Amino acid sequence: MKQKPHFATRPILTIGWRYLLRHPWQSALMILGITLGVAVVVAIDLANASASKAFDLSTEAVAGRATHQIVGGPNGLDERLYADLVRIGLNANLAPVISEYVYVPDLGSNLFQLLGLDPFGDAPFRNYLGDSRSGQNRQPIGNLVDFLTTPGAILISSGVAERNGLQDCLLESDACTMSMEVSGEAKPVSVVGFLQPTDDLSRRALDSLILADIATAQELTGRSGTIDRIDVLIPQDGREETEAQIKALLPTSVRLIPVEARSGTITEMTTAFRVNLTALSLLALVVGLFLIYNTMTFSVVQRRSLFGTLRCLGVTRREVFILVISEALAAGMIGAVLGIILGTILGQGAVRLVTQTINDLFFVVTVRGIQIPITSLIKGGLLGILATILSAIPPAWEAASVQPRVALSRSGLERKAQRAVYLAAGGGGLLLITGIGALLLPSQNLALSFIATFAVIIGFAMEAPLVTILLMKASTPSLGKVLGSLGRMAPRDVVNSLSRTSVAVAALMVAVSVTIGVSLMVSSFRYTVVAWLEQTLQGDIYISAPSLTSTQTSAPLDPRVIEHLENWSGTDQFFTLRSVNVDSPQGITHIAAASNTVMSSERDFLATSVPIANIPAQLDSGSVIISEPYANRMGISNPGGTIYLYTDSGVQEFPVIGIYYDYSSTQGTVLISLDTYRNFWQDETVTAAAIKLTPDKEIDAAVQELRESLAGEQRLIIRANQALRNEVLEVFDRTFAITSALQLLATIVAFIGVLSALLSVELERQRELGILRAVGLTRRQLWGLIMLETGLMGTVSGVLAMPTGYVLALILVYIINRRSFGWTLQMQVVGDPFILAVVIAVGAALIAGIIPALRMSRMMAADAIRFE
Amino acid sequence: MNKTLAYRILLAIIILGLVAAVISWVGKPEETSLQSSLVLAGQGDGSSRDVQGYTRAGGPIPFVFPDDFGPHPDYQTEWWYYTGNLTTPEGRHFGYQLTFFRRALLPPTEQLSRASDWATGQAYMAHFAISDSQSNQHYAFERLARGSAGIAGAQSDPYRVWLEDWEVNLIGASVYHLKAKQDGITIDLTLTDVKDPIPHGDQGYSQKGPEPGNASYYYSQSRLVSDGSVSVGAQTYPVSGLSWKDHEYSTSALSADQIGWDWFSIQLDNNTEIMVFQIRREDRSIDPYSSGSIIGADGGVVHLEASDFEIIVLDTWKSPNNQAIYPAGWRINIPTRAIQLVIDPHMANQEMNLSYAYWEGAVDVTGVVSGQDVNGNGYVEMTGYSGSMSGEF
């Protein structure tokens, strides 16, 4: 007769529960490990999700329901094109748009997107002025009289108005009048109405928007005669014919492009950034996994005799297995819930950091404070539970598979563990080789690269037991000489409880190696950027107009300013730059058009197809050089080919004669001579200027002098070379703030891991230590023994973390960074991270030893050995 | 360790994974649409905006053409109204309407000089409708546009009025091209004016109420011989017939108690045309300032006072759109001219259910003029049946 298993399972499960309850320290540590792992994953996922949501919202707030856009060159479109197109009667809705980032001091320090729309034709695209699709809510034009006819009339969201105490200003005359800063110039505007969002999502989108009539926007941005673009909504029916019809009508400098083509390029660029963050957050979870594995293994080891007894009493393997798994599940669930809560809190900070980085590196996200996407929470929670169960399977298997007789013998597991050392070392070596092999594959796939990186790290971690044994054996004689029998005891103890100590060592090693790897990567990166800045910033003084966004310097300089600078007495050499985004068949391309080709080509080149000395002359005759990220993005591995750009006279090809190192953007840059640029684009704008001073001028004094002499003109940013350099580095450091935060979290997780592992080890040795106390070991000696053991473990972690960290740094610098952002960095090995790593490892281990040492030294020897 | 357990665990993991996948799929944000309403400084008084600053129709000013074909921005409201009855060679009937409304946002004197070509003090609205009476379909469209940047506007010489691609323009002496297209409904006509512009009222001064200024300047081109095509969906029909153009401008022509009007344009086969309108008051009475014109074959005009004609409603029709009840069949008697006409809509539902609802439809006309049987077609406009028009015009 076969008994149904679940009759017996219930009382057995309570054994597990009792165990968890009776060992609150261990349970708490295990839960804490899961909690931290889940929290980091959730926080990063929240940040990523909200960054992309913010981007979508920003895009939608501006693009609305447009399917296409008609775009032109750097100066936008001739405004007459709109009337010409609408008078043809296309099977499409058209709406003219002007958009510009502006700053309104009276509305706080945030950046706003000024959106100039035609309220008459805009309804099919955006709902701000009433939803024409439903026919509801449409504003009688009579109500828009002020909006249309008052110069400088704007609409802001009611939320922004309230926050700035303007909610009642419509009732008083002139109370809503304020100043708006556009491209460094202040323009008077007056709020004539409030946009009242009807839901939370709209509120967030509208909070960074200022609406104006297209005529007002033209006047505010000084763009009379032109518009930025025409939004187009082509119905699905006959879309291709309509597209072809529109294309045929457009002048050569103007293009019709699908909306996705534009936003696609931008989102694509941030993907790499977000994948990197996700990988780092997963790393925290991996460290957490070690912890769970360690704790579960320990709890199994501790109860080997219990399991043996149960098995002798007829409990099946499957029931033992379920018992252990259910413990893990319980801990995993509690940890996941706590992790979600903590992750949400951490997420607030992460969202800010991620958004800041995206603003610095990629595009302007004006939308802030996104609500928490529930999917991120669920994802993180499930991941945590799943990971817990997975990492509990080996110990559960272990508990279930031992023979009842062997289980009752105490040394069974350790003997087995020592046998497994070579297995682990071999497996780890295999994993290492596979990981490195995968990394060397010429694939650009980021996910694969990260999986391979994880394989390498775990491969190293699996060497931990072997390295521990070797190091302990090597250190025994010398420690013995110095510290006597205690010195010999400590390393042997570490080896004897290898099943727990090696996992703790591995966990700590992973965390510390990540610290080393990431620190080395960041310092290499910084070193590279500093060297690059040195080379690139050759002027003494840089002048630009405040563009309000750090991603682009496209605010034009007033021609009078240029004239003044050129003729200024302190100017030895003067050069100008037009930085602008133009379209290409491959999407938006950033162009830097430089007046001084000699100076612009004094850079480090990855490759050139002509002698470096000839580059300036070649640039003058229409060739271009491209930055490394651009080359990577376009899949150009060698110069000598051509790139295509949409110019005012249609698509033109430009020969590429060199690829240069550049760290200013991940989007990449095409460097072209200003003359060439002006040949192909009708654009006299200059966005930045640099001066080389005559030898008699002192830089700071010159900056001061220029500031004073240009005070009456456009608002300008006049910076000395050093100041600009510092600013770039400031952005750089800000970018890595989140990396450091993640790194710190991973270290905390590892620290807790070590703490729990050591606690387990020492708790298990309670009786052994009790006997030692009984035979005369002093309290002080006991402290010494425990501290020596944990210190040894920390040292092993630190020693193993050094090569691992170095390899990780190599991978991050030469593979991950290149594949993610297209930057080749110069590896710069500095000692600090290594020293710091060992300090962290040993320090963490020593601190982790305090609790067990305290416990053991307080315990009476008799209590400790009561069971003997 | 038995296999089923391993399978179960595997299964549990797969299920967990699936649940995660489903959740993240279901949780994908649906396409969002940003919603907002608007609070404006001037909200609420849009319809009763001050008429101060605008010129009002104060007395007869003889029209000067071509100048008066164009816009009169000193007046708040203006429209160019084209209606017509067309038939295919097979006799299939279509009615059409293409109207351009101009509404000043500010009196010209208050408009500040602006740098942008897009800045404007004029809003344009246009209505386009086709009545396909054979299939009992009425298509009506509305567009709005600013009166600047070439998007919409009107000009006198050469005459042209347009809103985007809806347009009427002079293409030869007294010959016009009219075109409009939306959602597969197209009209393209050549209009030839066989009579000169006909001023209504006193030399075009058409009084609508007792208060000074409650009047408009109003003339018609009452017989525009029309040829061209109408398309409905994939089908294009060659058509010919007669069109009628009204051009009227004013500043707040209606008094507060005048809630709407019924307007009739009738083109008879004896080469004469009749225009009559009656203004309805809140108390359901007919305003004494209702009037009309009879246009002779030679272009001569006879002015009709309210007392000269009577309009008897024979039938009514209830709008399915807004439950308004419109008259739907009339007898018009002009005893002094021995005219008795019966007017029948070509189809019942020709309501323009747009920004504001009104009925504007093609009608069939039969009757007797001085003992002679006459036939013809016309257009009827009825406003104020689903909300007062006072203040709108």
CB pair distance less than 8 Å for A193 and B43: yes
CA pair distance A514, A40, nearest whole angstrom: 15
CA pair distance A82, B228, nearest whole angstrom: 28
Residue A477, chain B, CB below 8 Å: the answer is no
Helix (H) / strand (E) containing A70 = strand A68-71
**Chain B residues closer than 8 Å to A196 by CB:** 36-39
Which range, A114-118, A543-547, B48-52, has the best average confidence (pLDDT)?
Answer: A114-118
Q: Say whether pLDDT at A325 is over 50.
A: yes
**Chain B residues closer than 8 Å to A145 by CB:** 42, 46, 49, 105-106
Of the pLDDT bands very low, low, confident and very high (cuts 50, 70, 90), residue A781 is: confident
Residue in chain A nearest B3 by alpha carbon: A318
Nearest CB neighbour to B35, from listed A199, A213, A389? A199
CB pair distance less than 8 Å for B47 and A375: no
pLDDT in tens, A55-77: 677 677 767 778 888 988 777 89
CA pair distance A326, A398, nearest whole angstrom: 15
pLDDT at A238: 84
Residue in chain A nearest B13 by alpha carbon: A386
Inter-chain CB pairs, A–B, below 8 Å: 210
From B140, B147, B169, B135, select the one nearest B101 (Cα to Cα): B147
CA pair distance B240, B229, nearest whole angstrom: 8
Burial profile A529-543: b = 16 or more Cβ within 10 angstroms, e = fewer? bbebbeebebbbbbb
Q: Say whether pLDDT at A370 is over 80.
A: no
Q: Say whether pLDDT at B223 is over 90.
A: yes
CB pair distance less than 8 Å for A80 and B149: yes
Burial profile A695-709: b = 16 or more Cβ within 10 angstroms, e = fewer? eebebeebbebbeee
Q: Which of residues 294-323 of A touch B (CB under 8 A)?
A: 317-318, 321-322
**Greater confidence, B233 or A124?**
B233
Q: Say whether pLDDT at A270 is over 90.
A: no
CB pair distance less than 8 Å for B111 and A149: yes
Residue in chain B nearest A199 by alpha carbon: B35
Handedness of CA B375, B376, B377, B378 (dihedral sign): negative
CA pair distance A801, A805, nearest whole angstrom: 6
> Could you tell me the maximum CA-CA distance found in chain A, to the nearest angstrom?
106
Q: Say whether pLDDT at A132 is over 60.
A: no
* Interface with B, mutate which of A55, A87, A127 (most B CBs under 10 A): A87
pLDDT at B231: 96
CB pair distance less than 8 Å for B106 and A401: no
**Greater confidence, B268 or A287?**
B268
Give DSSP secondary structure letters for B240-309.
EEEEEEEEEEESS-S-TTEEEEEEEEEEETTS-EEEEEEEEETTSPBPTT-EEEEE-TTS-EEEEEGGG-
CB pair distance less than 8 Å for A193 and B44: no
Angle made by CA atoms A702, A703, A705, in degrees to the nearest 5: 60
pLDDT in tens, A821-831: 778 888 888 88
User: What would the two tokens of residue A298 be?
Assistant: 């320990």
* Minimal C-alpha gap between A513 and chain B (Å): 31
First CA to last CA distance, chain A:
41
Of the pLDDT bands very low, low, confident and very high (cuts 50, 70, 90), residue B31 is: very low
| Range of lowest pLDDT (A128-142, A146-160, A328-342) | A128-142
CA pair distance B140, B129, nearest whole angstrom: 4
Q: Which amino acid is at B383?
A: T
Secondary-structure breakdown of chain A: helix, strand, coil percentages, each rounded to the nearest 5 = 60, 15, 25
**Chain B residues closer than 8 Å to A139 by CB:** 38, 40
pLDDT at A137: 42
Mean pLDDT of A727-734: 77
CA pair distance B388, B154, nearest whole angstrom: 28
pLDDT in tens, A285-307: 776 676 667 777 777 767 777 77
**Chain A residues closer than 8 Å to B39 by CB:** 158, 170, 193-194, 196
CB pair distance less than 8 Å for A131 and B35: yes
Judge whether B243 and B84 are in contact, CB under 8 Å.
Answer: yes
pLDDT in tens, B121-175: 899 999 999 999 999 999 999 998 999 999 999 999 999 999 999 999 999 999 9
CA pair distance A549, A359, nearest whole angstrom: 8
Q: Which residues have CB under 8 Å from B33's CB, separation 6+?
A: A65, A127
CA distances from B351 to B320, B321, B326 (A): 10, 9, 9
Q: Which of residues 89-108 of A touch B (CB under 8 A)?
A: 89, 96
* Minimal C-alpha gap between A325 and chain B (Å): 10
For A740, the 3-state DSSP assignment is helix
pLDDT at A786: 83
Q: Say whether pLDDT at A135 is over 60.
A: no
Burial profile A502-512: b = 16 or more Cβ within 10 angstroms, e = fewer? bbbbbbbbbbb
Q: Say whether pLDDT at B45 is over 80.
A: no
**Chain B residues closer than 8 Å to A318 by CB:** 1-2, 5
Judge whether A825 and A815 are in contact, CB under 8 Å.
Answer: no
* Minimal C-alpha gap between A218 and chain B (Å): 6
Torsion angles phi and psi, residue B241, rounded to 5: 165, -150
CA distances from A137 to A93, A128, A132, B39, B353 (A): 20, 10, 8, 11, 16
Nearest CB neighbour to B23, from listed A126, A151, A375? A375
* Interface with B, mutate which of A86, A91, A204 (most B CBs under 10 A): A86
Q: Which residues have CB under 8 Å from B382's CB, separation 6+?
A: B260, B261, B262, B263, B326, B327, B358, B359, B360
Mean pLDDT of B299-323: 93
Q: Report the DSSP pairing between strands B122-132 and B137-146.
A: antiparallel
pLDDT at B192: 97
pLDDT in tens, A495-526: 877 777 787 788 778 878 888 888 888 888 88
* Minimal C-alpha gap between B28 and chain A (Å): 8
| Range of lowest pLDDT (A33-37, A484-488, B279-283, B389-393) | B389-393
CB pair distance less than 8 Å for B41 and A385: no
Torsion angles phi and psi, residue B32, rounded to 5: -95, 155
Nearest CB neighbour to B34, from listed A155, A201, A382? A201
Give DSSP secondary structure letters for A619-664.
HHTT-EEEEHHHHHHHT--STTSEEEEEETTEEEEEEEEEEE---S
Residue in chain B nearest A147 by alpha carbon: B40
Judge whether A274 and A48 are in contact, CB under 8 Å.
Answer: yes
CB pair distance less than 8 Å for B34 and A158: no
* Minimal C-alpha gap between B249 and chain A (Å): 18
| Residues in chain B, total | 393
CA pair distance A754, A295, nearest whole angstrom: 10
pLDDT at B381: 96
Residue A130, chain B, CB below 8 Å: the answer is yes
Q: Say whether pLDDT at A12 is over 90.
A: no
Of the pLDDT bands very low, low, confident and very high (cuts 50, 70, 90), residue A778 is: confident
For A688, the 3-state DSSP assignment is strand
Nearest CB neighbour to A127, from listed B5, B9, B36? B36
CA pair distance A77, A194, nearest whole angstrom: 29
Q: Say whether pLDDT at A261 is over 80.
A: no
Which range, A98-112, A643-657, A669-683, B219-233, has the best average confidence (pLDDT)?
Answer: B219-233
Q: Say whether pLDDT at A459 is over 70.
A: yes
Q: Say whether pLDDT at A421 is over 80.
A: yes
CB pair distance less than 8 Å for B144 and A80: no
CA pair distance A67, B139, nearest whole angstrom: 26
CA torsion B352→B354→B356→B361, rounded to 10°?
A: -10
Judge whether B261 and B279 are in contact, CB under 8 Å.
Answer: yes
CA distances from B136 to B88, B131, B380 (A): 16, 7, 17
Q: Which residues have CB under 8 Å from A57's CB, separation 6+?
A: A201, A204, A205, A367, A370, B32, B34
Give DSSP secondary structure letters for A274-299.
HHHHHHHHHHHHHHHHHHHHHHHHHH
From B143, B149, B150, B277, select the one nearest B218 (Cα to Cα): B277
Mean pLDDT of B248-261: 85
Judge whether A497 and A414 are in contact, CB under 8 Å.
Answer: yes
From A293, A298, A304, select the one nearest A411 (Cα to Cα): A304
User: What would the two tokens of residue A129 be?
Assistant: 């002025």
Of the pLDDT bands very low, low, confident and very high (cuts 50, 70, 90), residue B28 is: very low
First CA to last CA distance, chain B:
90
Q: Say whether pLDDT at A239 is over 90.
A: no
Neighbours of A104 (CB within 10 A): 25
pLDDT at B159: 96
User: What would the two tokens of residue A677 be?
Assistant: 């640029």
* Minimal C-alpha gap between A23 and chain B (Å): 27
| Range of lowest pLDDT (A358-372, A557-571, A677-691, B158-172) | A358-372
**Greater confidence, A365 or A193?**
A193
From A556, A646, A648, A593, select the one nearest A78 (Cα to Cα): A648
Nearest CB neighbour to A142, from listed B5, B38, B47? B47
User: What would the two tokens of residue A193 be?
Assistant: 């109405």
**Greater confidence, A233 or B4?**
A233
**Mean pLDDT score across all residues of chain B:** 87
From A490, A469, A497, A470, select the one nearest A413 (Cα to Cα): A497
**Greater confidence, A414 or A357?**
A357
Nearest CB neighbour to B40, from listed A146, A199, A219? A146
Nearest CB neighbour to A318, from listed B5, B17, B23? B5
Judge whether A744 and A835 are in contact, CB under 8 Å.
Answer: no
Residue A139, chain B, CB below 8 Å: the answer is yes
CA distances from A91 to A87, B181, B354 (A): 11, 9, 21
**Mean pLDDT score across all residues of chain A:** 80
CB pair distance less than 8 Å for A202 and B117: no
**Chain B residues closer than 8 Å to A389 by CB:** 9, 12-13
pLDDT in tens, A204-225: 777 888 999 999 999 998 888 8
CA pair distance A103, A756, nearest whole angstrom: 53
Judge whether B350 and B379 are in contact, CB under 8 Å.
Answer: no
Residue A379, chain B, CB below 8 Å: the answer is yes
Which residue reads 């690269």 in tokens?
A: A449
CA pair distance A328, B110, nearest whole angstrom: 78
Instruction: Quote the strand ranges of A510-570, DSSP E.
Output: 541-544
Mean pLDDT of A846-858: 77
